[in-house]
Amino acid sequence: MSQKKPINEFKQEMPPPSGYRNFNFHRTFPKIIWKPMTVVAIGVGVGFYGYFQGWQFKKHRRNLKFVDTDTWNALEPVLLAERDRNWLKLLRNLRDEEEKIMKDVPGWVVGTWYGEPVYLTLGDKWWDPEPPETTCHMSNSFFFGDGFMRDVGWRHQDSYAGEHWWDKYFPKWLNDMFY
């Protein structure tokens, strides 16, 4: 009689005849893309390039400083003369204002307190009046409009004289106050 195999016969899985490969349980390192000397060479190259660019920038700034200094030395006498001229015009206007205000006062001499000199004058030595004395008769529009502060702040004016993008967002009086 022949034996029949059962349908649910269990078959044990066995390793391949040559065996499984060895299991790597040691520490693994990533694959090296660049050699260490390549990385060092690139770092040194970038460092030298940055140093060279910094040296060039410093040289450029030094040249610009020389140009700015030459320009300032050329313009300084003119600017100082204009400042002194404006100051003398202001003092003359103050004298005229005092003369106009005090014209009805008997015995009033302009620049004195009823004929007595207000300031101690030492020969040819010039003493400038203090700011409160020079600005006491002036209105706020003189300081914040197109007057004294506009002329004094010449350094802070923009070299571009055309319209700015913000001009349409602020009223004209506010733009005139700041620009």
How far from each other are the two terminal CA atoms of the chain, in whole angstroms? 118
- Confirm whether 171 is domain-assigned: yes
Would 57 be classed as within a structural domain? yes
| 147 contacts: CB under 8 Å, gap ≥ 6 | 138, 141
In a domain, 17, yes or no: no
- Asked if residue 83 belongs to a domain, the reply is yes
pLDDT, tens digit (0-9, with 9 covering 90-100), for 120-165 = 666 677 677 777 777 777 766 666 655 555 555 544 444 555 677 7
How would you label 98-113 residue by residue, b for 16+ Cβ within 10 Å and e otherwise?
eeeeeeeeeeeeeeee
Does the residue 93 lie in any domain? yes
What pLDDT does 151 receive? 54
CB 120 within 8 A of CB 150: no
Q: Which domain holds residue 68?
A: 53-148+162-176
Q: How far is CA 134 from the centre of its chain?
A: 33
Cβ atoms of 134 and 95 within 8 Å: the answer is: no
Q: How far is CA 115 from CA 49, 112, 118, 137, in A?
A: 77, 5, 9, 22
Which of 170, 161, 171, 155 has its CA nearest to residue 68? Answer: 155
d(CA 145, CA 149): 8
Kindly state whether residue 15 falls inside one of the protein's structural domains: no
For residue 124, is it within any domain?
yes
Are the C-beta atoms of 118 and 112 separated by less than 8 Å? yes
Question: What is the per-residue pLDDT for 111?
Answer: 79
**Considering its fold, how many domains does the chain have in total?**
1
| Any domain includes 63 | yes
Neighbours of 166 (CB within 10 A): 10
Strands 112-113 and 116-117: antiparallel
> Global pTM?
0.45
pLDDT at 28: 83
Residues 175, 144: Cα–Cα separation, whole Å: 11
Task: Point out the residues of the chain with pLDDT beneath 50.
Answer: 154-158
Q: Residue 159's pLDDT is what?
A: 53
